[in-house]
Structure 1
Amino acid sequence: MNTKLITMNSYVLWLGSIFDQKTVMSSKAISPAANNWQVGLINQLSNKGIKVVTLGHTPEPIWPKGKLKMGHKQYKINNKIDCYITDYYNIPFIRKANLIEKYKTLFNLLICKYGLPELVISYNSYDHNSVTAINMQTNFQIPWVCIVADMPTKQPDITKQNEYLSNSDGNIYLSWAMYQNSKSINKFHLDGGIVDDHLERSELSNSQKHKKSILYAGSLTRWGGIDELLEAYKLISDDNLELWICGPGENDKVLNAATSNKSIKYFGFVTKSELTQICKKASLFVNPRPAYVIGNESNFPSKLFEYLQHMKPIISTKTPGLSPDYETILITPENDSAKAIASKITEVLDWDEDKTNQHIEKTLKFINQNKTWDIQSGRLIKWLIAKFNINSNNPDSVT
């Protein structure tokens, strides 16, 4: 390829796979939380004049559990984000190298169509993302910023990721602890945001006020703390209380609990609109993620943003991934034990209407001052302009 014939254009190349809700719901390998986070940020970057083109692939359990070969796609998200999905062979010992090669091939096609990007942003430092980004640095002097959403917990993956991150020109961390501990010269903390028009203050009916419910929405793995929550629920004596659980995956403890106790409702993996309706009816939300589980120091509990937009009380353990900002609006148990979680749930369920309304107003103020995607994307764009001199086609919208 003759690189002298390629021009630099005003757009950001995003190395990350994003999909519409229908695709997310039909896949066991796509993370709903990661998808929602990326779409939320990219939408706001687009609204503020930053053109984003995405390059990714469709995740799939490795063959023979998954398909042998994954196909390529091209589509738009919300009629404004150009998305390109590469094909690849989903075969053990071959997939990793094939993805790296396929990303390189698709990148070359994209720069023929769009020109060279001003900046490359990758969602995590997976091999295919990092090798592609480093090649762009080396061959085209394009800066690379890596979003660190998750960190590996075992060697040699930890060493490899640290090596990749040392090559990036800047790093964005979702986890507060990871941000604080990072030795990167150019680092930025951004844990997420809420779309302004998704804020909704739900009014409970008289029947809902008498029949109270606790909602847990998220992963059913040990990282999410679902086991601790089930134990906590056993310690609460209230015939008018229900525990509602939503989330992908399979957990025998959850299934057995829902079968043996009629007050435990397991909804399974629900759509975004279905989750919104369930959130409207819930009395309070819970994030029981235990701090002691390895890996929870390096990620952020993204379910909090789903909870926050409804402005109801959130009982949450305190994990290193949470920034100090949240101390003002999260209701934190004394520790991560089931007993402490149960005690705090009981306390909040006893709040009167005035205390509940005060908490709602405090949460609304917190969101409007700190945690909308409009505010967070504006912060990020200012940082990107200062560090990498990228262009915004709508600079007046950056606040």
Structure 2
Amino acid sequence: MTKKILFFSSIIPEETYFNNSIGPNSIANDTLQRALMKGFQENNYKIDLINVPNIGAYPSKYKKPVINSKKIKISEAINGITIQFINLPLFKHLVIYNNLKKILKGYNLSEYDAVFMYDAYIPFFKLLPYIKQRTAAKTVAYLPDLIGHVGSPDNFIHRFFNKIALNIFSSNSRYIDVFVLISEAMKEHVNVSGKKSLVIEGMWDNSTAISSKTKNDEKKYIFYGGSLGRRHGILDLVEAFIMANFHDVDLVICGDGDTKDEIVEISEKNQQIKYLGQLPRNQILDLQANAFLLVNPRGSDGEFTKYSFPSKVFEYFTSGTPTFMYKLKGIPDEYYEYCFTSDDESVEALAENLKMINYKDAYDLNDLGKKAREFVLQNKSSKVQVSKLIRLIDN
């Protein structure tokens, strides 16, 4: 018997949204939500989407002041709408809430087995009392991060906004029946007492096209793709690569963030460092599959590492290319059986590790990459991970 879920999402459904964005795009959140949807579909759920694209406000982060309503069709089982709203700073959240409430009046909420909310987004959480008055369906919140721990600028406006968001989250959390957290440490800040809760660090949609390695005579390269935020350690990787003094290896970087200008300047002076900007996801997957090594240079310093799981771990592992990453508090220990790691997070140690891996036998490198890929495909697929959540909802 097919069940139904009402899914409040923030995916970016069309290429035009990416083209109009200014600065980094939220590809990681987009990928995770699509994997969640696929997991529900694979477990015999029909999904109705109410979508608010995760885009920045006009004019500093997005080129258009108005987002128009559009229908979404991801598959036969996954359909919905992107709502219309005025995309102005702060004001947009009030408009979105009012528009969501109007839209919900056209839904028969009693026909759903569950109402699912991705992230602690203010307009979503403000709807919870209204939703609970109209349905006995279980309400589920998936929290990919914590309010105030997502790397927002530390200024008065953001502190004020985070305070409001935290108050709304705290007061309306009582209407959530099931919390899905990305790490165990989140329970330090999210009161799950008397609630059902589950830790799911992430998942991978196994139907995603994974590029095969292409045999060619091109120079081998180390690859990093993701946020170029300073706290993610990208400049440490660049410095370590230069220090390693490779003659037969390049460093390829994709992404955007506050260190972009520095990386561009360095790449202009060093021909072995290639900065490719933000690329479509299929190109990123291809670059990862054909790299010699994938690196996540994010160090364990900073409280935020307890409350996050780098989504690139799934992309890195499923590429079949070996990965180097540090031991972060938000990553379960089982992952470190399938990658290179180091307790010493200094730039000097990273340079030595890069050189050490470069000297390793190709068979051993391929074997490690293959085992990492199989680990994710068999144990962390969207079908497997979402089935854990469904069991909790049903019980």
TM-score by length of 1: 0.85
Alpha-carbon distance change, 344 to 134 in structure 1, aligned in 2, over 3 angstroms: farther
2:254 matched residue in structure 1: 246
1:226 matched residue in structure 2: 234
Q: Which secondary structure does the structure 2 equivalent of 1:171 belong to?
A: strand
Instruction: Please say if 1:317 is aligned against 2:322.
Output: no
1:130 matched residue in structure 2: 125
> CA–CA distance in 2 between the matches of 1:365 and 1:140?
41
2:342 to 294, 309, 333: 333
> CA–CA distance in 2 between the matches of 1:166 and 1:179?
15
1:173 matched residue in structure 2: 181
> What CA RMSD, in Å, does the superposition of the two structures yield over aligned residues?
2.5
| Residue identity in the other structure for 2:105 | N
2:42 to 43, 47, 53: 47
Instruction: Please say if 1:349 is aligned against 2:320.
Output: no
> CA–CA distance in 2 between the matches of 1:319 and 1:159?
29
**Number of residue pairs matched?**
374
Q: Which secondary structure does the structure 2 equivalent of 1:295 belong to?
A: helix
- Give the drift of 1:150: 1.7
Question: Do the aligned residues in 1 keep the contact of 2:110 with 2:134 (CA within 8 Å)?
Answer: no
1:298 matched residue in structure 2: 307
> CA–CA distance in 1 between the matches of 2:130 and 2:269?
55
Instruction: Please say if 1:13 is aligned against 2:6.
Output: yes
1:117 matched residue in structure 2: 112
Question: Do the aligned residues in 1 keep the contact of 2:320 with 2:366 (CA within 8 Å)?
Answer: no
| Residue identity in the other structure for 1:146 | A
Unaligned runs of 5+ in 2: 149-158
Instruction: Please say if 1:90 is aligned against 2:87.
Output: yes
TM-score by length of 2: 0.86
Alpha-carbon distance change, 194 to 140 in structure 1, aligned in 2, over 3 angstroms: closer
1:146 matched residue in structure 2: 141
Quote the sequence identity (%). 23
| Residue identity in the other structure for 2:30 | N
Question: Do the aligned residues in 1 keep the contact of 2:267 with 2:275 (CA within 8 Å)?
Answer: yes
Q: Which secondary structure does the structure 2 equivalent of 1:274 belong to?
A: helix
- Give the drift of 1:166: 4.5
**Aligned runs of 1:199-278 on 2, under 5 Å?**
202-203=212-213, 205=215, 207-208=217-218, 211-249=219-257, 251-278=260-287
Question: Do the aligned residues in 1 keep the contact of 2:128 with 2:175 (CA within 8 Å)?
Answer: no
> CA–CA distance in 1 between the matches of 2:355 and 2:326?
15
Give 4+ residue runs of structure 1 displaced > 4 Å after superposition: 157-160, 179-183, 197-204
- Give the drift of 1:120: 1.0
Deviations 1:285-311 (A, max 9, x none): 011112223433222100111111112
Unaligned runs of 5+ in 1: 1-8, 387-399
Instruction: Please say if 1:33 is aligned against 2:43.
Output: no
Question: Do the aligned residues in 2 keep the contact of 1:279 with 1:310 (CA within 8 Å)?
Answer: yes
> CA–CA distance in 2 between the matches of 1:19 and 1:137?
27
Deviations 1:9-29 (A, max 9, x none): 941111112244624532427
> CA–CA distance in 2 between the matches of 1:300 and 1:360?
20
- Give the drift of 1:378: 2.3
Question: Do the aligned residues in 1 keep the contact of 2:293 with 2:323 (CA within 8 Å)?
Answer: yes
1:71 matched residue in structure 2: 68
2:103 to 106, 110, 116: 106
> CA–CA distance in 2 between the matches of 1:293 and 1:28?
28
> CA–CA distance in 2 between the matches of 1:365 and 1:94?
46
| Residue identity in the other structure for 1:52 | I
Deviations 1:197-251 (A, max 9, x none): 547584463635xx32111010111242212212222211111111111114461
1:56 to 18, 42, 51: 51
> CA–CA distance in 1 between the matches of 2:196 and 2:94?
30
Instruction: Please say if 1:161 is aligned against 2:158.
Output: no
> CA–CA distance in 1 between the matches of 2:328 and 2:174?
26
| Residue identity in the other structure for 1:94 | F
2:78 matched residue in structure 1: 81
Question: Do the aligned residues in 2 keep the contact of 1:291 with 1:320 (CA within 8 Å)?
Answer: yes
| Residue identity in the other structure for 1:306 | E
> Which sits farther off after the overlay, 190-199 or 50-59?
190-199
Question: Do the aligned residues in 1 keep the contact of 2:10 with 2:30 (CA within 8 Å)?
Answer: yes
Alpha-carbon distance change, 46 to 297 in structure 1, aligned in 2, over 3 angstroms: same
Q: Which secondary structure does the structure 2 equivalent of 1:125 belong to?
A: coil
- Give the drift of 1:122: 0.6
> CA–CA distance in 2 between the matches of 1:129 and 1:281?
40
| Residue identity in the other structure for 2:44 | G
Alpha-carbon distance change, 264 to 76 in structure 1, aligned in 2, over 3 angstroms: same
> CA–CA distance in 1 between the matches of 2:169 and 2:227?
24
